[in-house]
Structure 1
Amino acid sequence: MHWLRLPEPRRDIAPAFDNSESARAWLDAQASTSPLVLLSTILEQIQAIDGTVTSPSEAVALLDLLRSAAVAVQSKVEGQFTRKALPMSPDEEQAFEITQQVWTRFGIAYLRLVPESTPANRCLQLQRAASALRLAHYCHYLAARSCTRLSDHLLLMVLTLAEANGVLRRPMADPDFSEHGKGTVSGQLVWAILMRIIDPFHLAAIELPVVNRLFSRWRELVDLRPEPDRSKGPYVLDLASLFGDDLKTGTPRYLNLSTVALKLGQRIKLLAAGESPEALKLGRTLSSAAASRLLNDLEQYLQPLHKEVLTTDQEIELVFGGDDTYAVLKNRILNPTGAQKSEQPLAYERKAIFGLEQSSRLSSTESRLRVASEHWAVVNGVATRAPQSDATRRLAPCLIGTLVDGEPRIGVMASLQCHDNGALSARLKWFDDEVEACSLKRLAPKGNTLFRVPAFVIRHKWGISLILPADAGARLGINLGLADCSVEELIPAEVMLRGTDFVHYACTLGR
């Protein structure tokens, strides 16, 4: 198994200390250092220890001191790269790289000590490695950065070595994470895998820590087994669906997720019965409706992974935001500026005289307005934008529009992530229901100018909904007048999805 070989250590960095006492003194001297600079310095010392300290017990003692210091400042650095527009700016990229490298290098350093240690000490090193690699993965999810193949291989290495040494399920306390109680290597790996299978990139920034806390409490409820337990129904995950053929024969590869599904179901029922998210340890950031939607969403991801239905590869031209999506659907600019004003059709004049504008869709894309757009390639359901040095940065979920065979469509870009080469990939979710583009009757001030606010009315089998820009100022229960629309008024009743540039409301008809 070629992936069982660790990356070569660096041997060109001299440690800044040679024992625990001098390491504590060195850390005390860094007290006034900024959190990011401290992490960068810790990263260098991790590599120094990994490459030069040969005594396993001495190396573990030094690594543990550095680990405690890194844990203390982790939360102070995360905000510098959490769910920023992609690709990240150089400063954001630097903060992410330093932080995830700290945990990746911790994992590698602890793993390198396992073969040289006594069997009695291997559990601690493997648990430290599993915890560090889980945190490295979590940094990728916070930053919406794709995980590397190396990070997957390192997780599998921990699993293989822990099983081979008989310590996969041995409980052990972790003083740096005392709030988690005693745990096992298996629990850390399960936690990392649970976060992986629910597509963490589709979660909003406020949802990700909620889910992470849930799985931290449930990590020990899931077993890793060499054979599947089919009596547990559909909630059995084969790790081969995540890691392919990289699993070693005999390695525990099946997860029984039925207990997690049961926990989710219990909380969904309690929320419906009136329990608050805070009472269910879901935090204060989500409303009851938002928490219920999140838990239902998570339950769907626990089902067995199905292969994507192969679709025809295609190039697609996307527009972003409410105004440009309106232009695609209506074939006119909602808020024309400069030369655009003279290019506008007579629609507004006709509407002023005759009322509702009944212009038909144009069948030829050549006669449509030109709107700023981006080219994305769709392969097997995943849209990808090639690396571009001057491309607009994107943040998801966001509103998108396009033309398919001359017909306009509106949708949402979700699960956006950035790859190491700067390419972006995402899932595109289109509204198949009837969509009507319109605007709010009231105008919105921007600077010294009043602008029309784009709105999109969607008719579903279950009722009606409305998409508005995130800064439209709509409030639940308050009537919204609509212009150039077959519906005069709607009342937002519930937030269905809060994107980065839009809010999707379930609505009732105005009175």
Structure 2
Amino acid sequence: MDWLKLPEPRSNIALAFKDAAGAKAWLAAQPQAQAMHMLAAICLQVEAIEGSSLAPAQAYELLNSLWSPAIPAENAIEPRYSRKALPLPEEDERAFDAAQRLWLRFGIAYLRIAPDLSADARLRALQRSANALRMAQYCHFNAARSCPPEIDHLLFGVLAQANAAQILEQPVVDRDFPHLGEANISGLIVWAFLLRLADPYRLSSAQLTVANRGLSRWRELATFTNEPASESKSRLIDLACLFGSPLPVGVPTLLEVRKVRRKILQRIDALEKGESPESLKLGRELSSYACIRLLHLLEASLKPGNGLVSTEVGEIELAFGAENAFAVFNGEYLNSPVAQEKQSSAIAHQRMAIFGFDRQSSLPTAVKKLNVPGENWTLVDGVALRPEDRGGERRASPCLIASKLKEQPRLGVIASLQTRPDNALQASLDWYDGRIEARFVRQSGMPGEAPARIPVFLILGDKEKSLLVPPQVRAATGKQITLEGSLTTTLTLGEVVERGVDFVRYAAS
């Protein structure tokens, strides 16, 4: 495999042990309760094993000694970086780095020694390499950090080795992953590839969890092949789209996913007939309607050439949140921002002292203009970027945005948010079609307080309408809700169509 260039191992790290007994004693001396320390120490020893002159069989034994203790330590730090607002704080960023680096180093170390092992050890080493690389990839998806092509290429390296040895579908039980049962190398790589194809950055945290769970169960329904199927019902994915260039000789070029698609469609049908997501082993994170929507997204990701590439370029100012979006549409705030009031008051005092009047709008010739706070992002081929040096608040997706195009307001969602290697934020901007009305609802609060006015957005499509509300609105499927604004409208809320970090969108009638 001349096409796969593994990174050079470091030869300047002292190996702390040379046999399984020594590894056990070394591990016992580490601070077990300090997960970050454990991961860093284990990762360093994995690199020491890689760079040592140990025989491959001995290196394999030592890697196995470190594999089991690493898992609880990584599980302990995972919540620190899981789908938080971006950019991550420095401490959370270190947790992500520690986790992804650990699994990446394990994946490379097992892959490096696999060709020189006995047949049984080679099978188990490649199985662990595939699983480690899959987990390194998932760390990126979970932390919303752009996943480097290197991980895809390493997975293809495992695929090529296992395919050449004819062990792709040979089952292996890893006692540290009992929930996977008898996993084979093919299934683990399929799992990683299918999740990659599903655009995991577009998924919410709950959607990512459910998608990952479902694909883990259906991973062995897909098969690698080099031959286009003769059946009309076949569903083939060209793997060159993941490799980024024509595939090297010896690597399967196609992935047959027809059975995975059929399983997804069966789950959709069962949910529509009233079965619960939990009964279908999809978990409890999403409602039936939300599960159906997610499964349709997964099914669509299995279509060859899925998605259109945008070529939009230029600068765009984005306003975030319902209050600012309401102001973009109506030219005035529904509820005056406190910070803006304080700033206006301070400026008013200065103007009174200098000019003898308190507000610029008091002048007869003044033109009232509302400045809605926003952030300037750059569009490059349809992808929105916010460079690190541009600053701005931390953001999580999917979240509500508004902007103006040729003075016409638009309402949308910032999706697929991720941090790039250069620490810029990258996202896609999804704009709602149809006519949009910025309205509000009144909601009672504490006794003696006036009802709060909360902005909501009525989206009127050609054939259907929906209502987008902030999470503080007391809304639920089947509930009637009265909208105020230019006129009063009463709607009945249907199923949840979409859920973001700062909004919920309901079907409405």
Q: TM-score normalized by structure 1? A: 0.89
Please give the root-mean-square deviation of Cα atoms over the aligned residues, in Å: 2.3
| 2:406 corresponding residue in structure 1 | 405
Instruction: Indicate yes or no: 2:372 matched with 1:371.
Output: yes
SS in 2 for 1:388: helix
Preserved CA contact (<8 Å) 1:39 1:99:
yes
Deviation at 1:71, TM superposition (A): 1.8
Instruction: Indicate yes or no: 2:215 matched with 1:224.
Output: no
Deviation at 1:442, TM superposition (A): 2.8
Preserved CA contact (<8 Å) 2:300 2:306:
no
Deviation at 1:13, TM superposition (A): 1.4
Preserved CA contact (<8 Å) 1:325 1:400:
yes
Corresponding letter in the other structure for 1:295: L
Counterpart-to-counterpart distance in 2, 1:20 and 1:342: 66
Corresponding letter in the other structure for 2:207: E
Preserved CA contact (<8 Å) 1:107 1:128:
yes
| 1:300 corresponding residue in structure 2 | 300
Deviation at 1:320, TM superposition (A): 0.7
| 1:488 corresponding residue in structure 2 | 489
Preserved CA contact (<8 Å) 1:3 1:153:
no
Deviation at 1:323, TM superposition (A): 0.7
Q: What are the equivalent positions in structure 2 for 1:30-41 lying under 5 Å apart?
A: 30=30, 32-41=32-41
Corresponding letter in the other structure for 1:54: L
More moved, 489-498 vs 251-260:
489-498
| 2:58 corresponding residue in structure 1 | 58
Corresponding letter in the other structure for 2:198: I
| 1:49 corresponding residue in structure 2 | 49
| 1:356 corresponding residue in structure 2 | none
SS in 1 for 2:106: helix
Deviation at 1:488, TM superposition (A): 2.4
Corresponding letter in the other structure for 2:37: V
Deviation at 1:304, TM superposition (A): 0.9
Q: Deviations over 1:94-113 (max 9, x none)?
A: 00000000000001111111
Deviation at 1:168, TM superposition (A): 2.1
Counterpart-to-counterpart distance in 2, 1:396 and 1:405: 26
Corresponding letter in the other structure for 1:58: Q
| 2:462 corresponding residue in structure 1 | 461
Q: Deviations over 1:28-62 (max 9, x none)?
A: 33363322221121111111111115211211111
Corresponding letter in the other structure for 2:42: I
Deviation at 1:477, TM superposition (A): 3.1
More moved, 316-325 vs 8-17:
8-17
Counterpart-to-counterpart distance in 2, 1:125 and 1:503: 45
| 1:106 corresponding residue in structure 2 | 106
Deviation at 1:342, TM superposition (A): 12
Q: TM-score normalized by structure 2? A: 0.90
Q: Aligned residues: percent identity?
A: 42
Preserved CA contact (<8 Å) 1:42 1:66:
yes
Deviation at 1:219, TM superposition (A): 1.2
| 1:430 corresponding residue in structure 2 | 431
More moved, 383-392 vs 142-151:
383-392
Q: 1:389 to 1:91 in 2, by over 3 A?
A: farther
Counterpart-to-counterpart distance in 2, 1:449 and 1:211: 43
> Any gaps of 5 or more consecutive residues in structure 1?
344-365
Instruction: Indicate yes or no: 2:394 matched with 1:393.
Output: yes
Corresponding letter in the other structure for 1:320: F
Deviation at 1:473, TM superposition (A): 2.9
Deviation at 1:485, TM superposition (A): 4.2
Q: Deviations over 1:173-215 (max 9, x none)?
A: 2222122121221111111001100111111111212211211
Preserved CA contact (<8 Å) 2:19 2:58:
yes
Corresponding letter in the other structure for 1:244: G
Counterpart-to-counterpart distance in 1, 2:500 and 2:506: 11
Deviation at 1:493, TM superposition (A): 2.5
Deviation at 1:314, TM superposition (A): 2.3
Preserved CA contact (<8 Å) 1:226 1:250:
no
Counterpart-to-counterpart distance in 1, 2:481 and 2:135: 45
Instruction: Indicate yes or no: 2:442 matched with 1:479.
Output: no
Instruction: Indicate yes or no: 2:105 matched with 1:124.
Output: no
| 2:353 corresponding residue in structure 1 | none
Preserved CA contact (<8 Å) 2:479 2:493:
yes
| 2:237 corresponding residue in structure 1 | 237
Deviation at 1:246, TM superposition (A): 5.3
Preserved CA contact (<8 Å) 1:469 1:502:
yes
Preserved CA contact (<8 Å) 1:222 1:256:
yes
Preserved CA contact (<8 Å) 2:31 2:37:
no
Runs of 4+ in 1 over 4 A off after TM superposition: 337-343, 448-451
Preserved CA contact (<8 Å) 1:438 1:457:
yes
Q: Deviations over 1:395-442 (max 9, x none)?
A: 000001010111001011111111111111111111111110011123
More moved, 212-221 vs 298-307:
298-307
Counterpart-to-counterpart distance in 1, 2:245 and 2:499: 38
Instruction: Indicate yes or no: 2:318 matched with 1:318.
Output: yes
Deviation at 1:3, TM superposition (A): 5.0
Deviation at 1:256, TM superposition (A): 0.8
Deviation at 1:7, TM superposition (A): 0.7
Corresponding letter in the other structure for 2:279: A
Q: What are the equivalent positions in structure 2 for 1:110-509 lying under 5 Å apart?
A: 110-229=110-229, 231=231, 233=233, 235-245=235-245, 247-306=247-306, 308-337=308-337, 368-388=369-389, 390-442=391-443, 451-508=452-509
Q: Deviations over 1:235-275 (max 9, x none)?
A: 21001112221520241020111101100111111111111
Q: 1:341 to 1:431 in 2, by over 3 A?
A: farther
More moved, 309-318 vs 279-288:
309-318
| 1:361 corresponding residue in structure 2 | none
Q: 1:30 to 1:485 in 2, by over 3 A?
A: farther
Preserved CA contact (<8 Å) 1:77 1:95:
yes
Corresponding letter in the other structure for 1:175: R
SS in 2 for 1:147: coil
Q: Deviations over 1:120-146 (max 9, x none)?
A: 532222111111000000111100111
Counterpart-to-counterpart distance in 2, 1:342 and 1:372: 13
SS in 1 for 2:170: coil
Deviation at 1:85, TM superposition (A): 0.6
| 2:80 corresponding residue in structure 1 | 80
Q: 1:506 to 1:165 in 2, by over 3 A?
A: same
Q: 1:74 to 1:256 in 2, by over 3 A?
A: same
